[in-house]
Amino acid sequence: MKIAVLPGDGIGKEIVAEAVKVLNALGLKFELESALVGGAAYEAHGHPLPESTLRLARQADAILFGAVGDWKYDQLDRSLRPEQAILGLRKSLGLFANFRPAICYEQLVGASSLKPELIAGLDILIIRELTGDIYFGQPRGRRQAADGPFPGAQEAFDTMRYSRPEIERIAHVAFQAARKRSKKLTSVDKANVLETSQFWKDVLTEIHAQYPDVQLQHMYVDNAAMQLVKAPKAFDVVVTGNMFGDILSDEAAMLTGSIGMLPSASLNGSQQGLYEPSHGSAPDIAGKGLANPLATILSAAMMLRYSLNQPAAAGRIEAAVQKVLAQGLRTPDIHSPGTTRVGTAQMGDAVVQALTT
């Protein structure tokens, strides 16, 4: 079991260290190899995703990723910015299916910004298409406007596009995931305005014919954003495009108590996958030992389940996380009166302790 470990920038290094601690405590044989990625790789090699890092990722059974990015790179040419590393990995490895499960653990019901009754027992799965949409669509750039309200003015443009096979493959992933759960799938789009979204909706409806046992509902993204905070438990599996999925998954993260609780798996239809928390490098708290490592530790559990064929070990990690939460341990993002405030490393140590006792 070869795991490429890519901590990245900011809190990435701190949270991945804790996930590695937890993996090492399982008593399984892993081959872990680390490499620089993001701003850290740019500093050392002049590129956020050096060839050597990409090669390591390609050869691994699974990739454990932290986060990339820092405000100090905002003025760099886009191709050299840290975020290109994660975008490049997703694209190069064809990781088109991103699973972001938003589960509100019983112990954190009071930590969400929503009323407890709205989120108690919440367990929804956001499936985000990850290699298409306006994130990757060409052409994009800056130019002088040929038409529009200000001809001759400088303008910028991106292209939102989806091909039929890209939509079909994510649709199959979503229907199959829904089949294993409550058989309820919500497809989120903006078909009332966007042609890509109407196409998305049409293809989803066509593929639905192959999954008559699954109930399919279409919802516009603005309404979905509202419904997610009004009645989140009305959802089960949600499938959507790259950009809407990015935004809705951060929103869903807060239903679980903290952005520091939402893990993710990015899959390409083979056993190989990339596992990362849904949050970023949090430059505002980096280097202070304050970050919540649980999203990354839970991502490592997803890695054991989806890529490494170790479901029992994955279950042990998830149980250990629940145990430390039941002990009242909380990093500052979810600390509240009556709980014990701990730092990043103490949280990791507590999970290890809970695993082994």
Q: Is 70 annotated as a binding residue?
A: no
| Smaller CB separation from ligand IPM, 12 or 320 | 12
Quote the tokens at residue 310: 């170790």
Beta strands in 161-304 (DSSP E): 184-189, 215-220, 237-240, 265-267, 273-275
Catalytic residue selected from 123, 158, 236, 250 = 250
* Residue among 9, 42, 70, 190 flagged as catalytic: 190
The contact pattern for ligand NAD, residues 258-277, with x = CB under 6 A and - = no contact, is -xx---------------x-
Active site residue 61: no
Q: Closest distance between Mn ion and the C-beta of residue 9, in Å? A: 15
Instruction: Specify whether the CB–CB gap between 262 and 102 falls below 8 A.
Output: yes
Active-site choice (42, 73, 105, 135): 135
> What dihedral do alpha carbons 268, 272, 277, 278 form, nearest 10°?
0
For ligand NAD, the binding residues in 310-339 under the rule CB under 6 A are 333
246 is a contact residue toward Mn ion (CB under 5 A): yes
246 is catalytic: yes
Token readout for 55 is: 């090669």
Q: What region does 102 belong to: left with phi over 0, alpha with psi -120 to 50, or beta?
A: beta
The yes-or-no answer on residue 349 being catalytic is no
Rounded distance, CA 341 to CA 352, Å? Answer: 17
Dist CA 253 CA 318 (whole Å): 17
Among candidate residues 246, 275, 333, 349, the one labeled active-site is 246
190 as an active site residue: the answer is yes
State the amino acid at position 44 in one-letter form: A
Question: Does the footprint of ligand IPM cover residue 87 (CB under 6 A)?
Answer: yes
The residue type found at 19 is A
As measured in angstroms, the least distance from the Cβ of 332 to Mn ion is 21
Task: Tell me the three state secondary structure of residue 96.
Answer: coil
250 counts as catalytic? yes
Q: Which of 7, 69, 132, 245 binds ligand NAD (CB under 6 A)?
A: 69
Bridge partner list, 341: 330
Positions touching ligand IPM (CB under 6 A) are: 69, 83, 86-87, 246, 278, 280
Residues with catalytic roles? 135, 190, 222, 246, 250
Binding-site residue numbers are 90, 100, 128, 222, 246, 250, 280-292
Binding-site residue numbers for NAD(+) are 280-292
Binding-site residue numbers for Mg(2+) are 222, 246, 250
